[in-house]
Structure 1
Amino acid sequence: MRGARHDPVVDDALRVLGAVLLDEIDLLADRLTLQILQHESCYGELGLIDELRDASLRNLRRGVQVLAGTVPDGVDPVDSTRETGRTRARQGVPLEAVLHGYRLGGRLIWEALLTASRQRFDGAYDVALLDAAGYIWRTNDGSSAVLVDAYRQEESRMRGHDLSRRRAVLDGLLGGRGRDPGFVRDAAVVLGLPDTGPLLCAVGCVETAGHDPLHDPQETLAAQGIDSVWALRQGEMVGLVAARGRSAGEIGVLLEPSVVGRVGLSGLVEGLGMADAGYRMAQTAVRTLATAGLAVLDDRLPEALLADSPELLPRVLDSALGGLLGLPAADRKVLLDTLDALLTSGGSPTHAAQTLFCHRNTVIYRLRRIEAVTGRRIADPRDRLLLSLGVMAARARPPASGRA
């Protein structure tokens, strides 16, 4: 960015006029600061007025040095620009406001060069400045590009840092550190969630890499005024949701449009300190699902009991359904569907027939077969409970291999 850029006349003009601007650089920095504050209120709101003036001085000085070809040896010509981009990103100043400030600075330098030529040298350098105009504005555009790149890199770095911190805090809560009040207070700040009040946990199974079980759940809930935080960890998509007066079932309804995989919701727990309990409940809920869908734990407690007792599953199946499981696959399916319909309809063959779209006598015949092969009577309350658990267990287990 130094050396001959034009003919000697243009280089001489920029060198001479640049020296004038450097003598007036403090005054120019004051003018630029006032112009930016008039257009961009965020600097005042963030308490950055003094810092803005210092940065304006540094950037104007370096910009004039670049144009005049007087950047000190060994100094990066865009060092102040790059630092401004990084600093503004950390301060939370919108990128549009920062770029506007740079445009104002570029215009101020151009106007100051023309003024110096006309007031100090009777317009002797006006023609040379016109020849240099393209270079001056390309230099300003180049500085703006450096600023944008530095700003975005710092934004990306901060996002990565914040993401790592949120993940570490979430891992701590799910691992049981919620019993430490100090950790819970810090976690609430980092996660943007209340440290007290009803909370629930969601767990979605990531079946295939790159395919999340929920699409944009945070945005979906935010549209309904519900705060949540989500993270991927160990093959799961985990969310903590501030209930804010909603039941688990109501939040499940709101999340339903986002669900594309197996997702479980815990019951309500009291605050971030109980997040680990909510996490375990949500894991149990998702284990009750064999296919994609959303399971609210409180709506599937019998299935959850079976899911959390895998060693009892074969015993429940054998005790409840007995010989029914040994039938050919087609017969087994028909009788299981019939048993399910009968249990759902309170044991009424008439209502079950309506559900199954068949004749009532057909259901009665199948019921006799079911009671014969299982040794259980659907009219007996204890047998009916065991048959219900058996159907749930049969639905939850994978298909038996080798059976047609």
Structure 2
Amino acid sequence: MAVDCLKGVDGLLGDWLETVQPLRDQYEGAVPDEDFRESAVQAFELLLRTVAGLPVPAELAGTSGRIGERRARQGVPLDSLLAAARLDFRVVWDALVARADDEDKVLLVASAYHVWEAVEAHVTGIMTAYQRTVLEMGRQREDERRLWFDRLLETGGHNPTVVRDVGLALGFVPGGRFLCVAALPGPGPGGGLHGAAAALRSAGATLQRQTVSSASLLVVQLGPRVTEETVLGRLEGVPCGVSPVADGLAGVPRAVELATATVRALPGAATGPLRLADAWLDVLVGRAGPFAAHLADDVLGGLKDQGEQRGAVPAAERERLLHTVRVHLAGSGSIAETARVLYCHRNTVQQRFTRFCELTGRDIRRPEDAALVALALRARESGGK
């Protein structure tokens, strides 16, 4: 009976097209009629040969995979595609029943599972190929997005044509506002950045995530629904560096550089995001390279540990002077405030500043010297000395 159906496969095609039409209405424009009919004929030939136990040519054996791959690329919804493929059972079964006499029908019912197994193998082949193709297409799209983003970084945002094309490729508005976040690669920060990206996507954010210069990046377009505070809230518990807001897509390369520099200045015990505005001293020291050690030596060289040289400053005095300077630099610059924090008289603070100036040549009361001392202290604390 299956062989007889195979000879009249065009009749099966007509029945199937009528049955499947309500499903096809959902994606009719995506699949040309000729493609639709040709695939259906090949599918019925595959099923009937399988049911009849006939040899299946290699070209015909790959029908399920080709249908799954092609429909995925055509954008046909998977559930509609599988529902249409499962209708093959009804059409084939009706055709077999129509060709069976009473005695054959008894045997046919007992063998129904053969037909169902053939259809399910076909459906499984379609689904496997479809899902594999969707994954491949997703990877290709991500690769394309990464290439476009790399192109933006390479040009530094100075080429208006590239900025425009990157906006189209990534779904960014070239004139929008962007926040860049960088985390060091690894299971901890990288995983947290991935989770933040997923949560922001769910909130409707347009973003790009990829690895650049050994750092994991997240670039988020800000708007009414996704603000800077929204992004920082999603980054809670994620050690990362956060750039200032970039005005326009052309400013993203600079923001990426600043975010990457900030994450490299993170203290080892960091448990959350660090804004560049709160990390400039550490960033500058980190970018100074070996000059950070030279800076610490030059500015603070007069404060030697006892035993390093004859006439060195006693350790207790050195630590007292440094503590006073640190408190002053961390405050508003008011000597009265520094005295209040240290629980001492303002004249005592003045005397310590004078002594510090005698030893280092830097007067902490002068803004220029204060800035230099702040950098030198940070360099010293970060290992510059």
Fold conserved between structures, TM > 0.5: yes
Residue 103 of structure 1 deviates from its aligned partner by 1.8
Q: Which amino acid aligns with 1:109?
A: V
Relative to structure 1, the CA distance from residue 336 to residue 287 in structure 2 (aligned partners, 3 Å threshold; closer, same or farther) is: farther
Aligned to 1:82: 65
Maintained 8 Å contact 1:22/1:61: yes
Maintained 8 Å contact 1:267/1:278: yes
1:273 aligns with 2:250: yes
1:172 aligns with 2:151: yes
| Residues in 1 aligned to 2:94 and 2:281: alpha-carbon distance in whole angstroms | 79
Structure 1 residues without counterparts, runs of 5 or longer: 1-12
Residues 279-330 of structure 1 deviation map (CA, whole Å, 9 limit, x = unaligned)? 2222332333233343322444444444433354234424543444647999
1:64-75 to structure 2, matched below 5 A, reads 64-70=48-54, 74-75=57-58
Aligned to 1:36: 23
Residues 186-231 of structure 1 deviation map (CA, whole Å, 9 limit, x = unaligned)? 3223323223322243322226799556242322322443211111
Maintained 8 Å contact 1:202/1:239: yes
Aligned to 1:288: 265
Relative to structure 1, the CA distance from residue 296 to residue 249 in structure 2 (aligned partners, 3 Å threshold; closer, same or farther) is: farther
Aligned to 2:39: 55
1:251-266 to structure 2, matched below 5 A, reads 253-257=232-236, 259=238, 261=239, 263-266=240-243
| 2:27 counterpart SS class | helix
1:242 aligns with 2:221: yes
Further displaced range: 163-172 or 183-192: 183-192
Aligned to 1:360: 343
1:190-205 to structure 2, matched below 5 A, reads 190-205=169-184
Q: Which amino acid aligns with 2:257?
A: R
Aligned to 2:383: 398
Maintained 8 Å contact 2:174/2:249: yes
Residues 63-111 of structure 1 deviation map (CA, whole Å, 9 limit, x = unaligned)? 2232234456x33443221111111221233322222222222223223
Residue 166 of structure 1 deviates from its aligned partner by 2.0
Aligned to 2:371: 385
Maintained 8 Å contact 2:215/2:260: no
What RMSD in Å do the two structures reach over aligned CA positions?
A: 3.7
| Residues in 2 aligned to 1:295 and 1:107: alpha-carbon distance in whole angstroms | 62
| Residues in 1 aligned to 2:177 and 2:186: alpha-carbon distance in whole angstroms | 29
Maintained 8 Å contact 2:183/2:189: no
Maintained 8 Å contact 2:12/2:92: no
Aligned to 2:288: 309
| 2:344 counterpart SS class | helix
Maintained 8 Å contact 2:295/2:376: yes
Relative to structure 1, the CA distance from residue 64 to residue 388 in structure 2 (aligned partners, 3 Å threshold; closer, same or farther) is: same
| 2:204 counterpart SS class | coil
TM-score by length of 2: 0.79
Maintained 8 Å contact 1:350/1:360: no
| 1:226 counterpart SS class | coil
Aligned to 2:309: none
1:100 aligns with 2:83: yes
1:22 aligns with 2:6: no
Which of 326, 331, 338 is the aligned partner of 1:345? 331
Q: Which amino acid aligns with 2:94?
A: E
| Residues in 2 aligned to 1:325 and 1:91: alpha-carbon distance in whole angstroms | 74
| Residues in 2 aligned to 1:330 and 1:148: alpha-carbon distance in whole angstroms | 75
| Residues in 2 aligned to 1:270 and 1:385: alpha-carbon distance in whole angstroms | 29
Relative to structure 1, the CA distance from residue 150 to residue 329 in structure 2 (aligned partners, 3 Å threshold; closer, same or farther) is: farther
Relative to structure 1, the CA distance from residue 381 to residue 170 in structure 2 (aligned partners, 3 Å threshold; closer, same or farther) is: closer
Aligned to 1:9: none
Residue 132 of structure 1 deviates from its aligned partner by 1.5
Q: Which amino acid aligns with 2:218?
A: G
Residue 169 of structure 1 deviates from its aligned partner by 1.6
| Residues in 2 aligned to 1:171 and 1:47: alpha-carbon distance in whole angstroms | 33
Residues 159-183 of structure 1 deviation map (CA, whole Å, 9 limit, x = unaligned)? 2322322222222111116444443
Relative to structure 1, the CA distance from residue 36 to residue 347 in structure 2 (aligned partners, 3 Å threshold; closer, same or farther) is: closer
Which of 148, 155, 163 is the aligned partner of 2:134? 155
Maintained 8 Å contact 2:237/2:273: no
| Residues in 2 aligned to 1:399 and 1:242: alpha-carbon distance in whole angstroms | 37
TM-score by length of 1: 0.76
Aligned to 1:5: none
| Residues in 2 aligned to 1:377 and 1:248: alpha-carbon distance in whole angstroms | 43
Residue 257 of structure 1 deviates from its aligned partner by 1.9
| 2:274 counterpart SS class | strand
Aligned to 2:74: 91
| Residues in 2 aligned to 1:201 and 1:270: alpha-carbon distance in whole angstroms | 12
Maintained 8 Å contact 1:177/1:183: no
Identical residues among aligned pairs (%): 24
Relative to structure 1, the CA distance from residue 361 to residue 81 in structure 2 (aligned partners, 3 Å threshold; closer, same or farther) is: same
Aligned to 2:107: 128
Q: Which amino acid aligns with 2:162?
A: F
Maintained 8 Å contact 2:232/2:273: no
Further displaced range: 328-337 or 86-95: 328-337
| 2:217 counterpart SS class | strand
| Residues in 1 aligned to 2:227 and 2:241: alpha-carbon distance in whole angstroms | 11
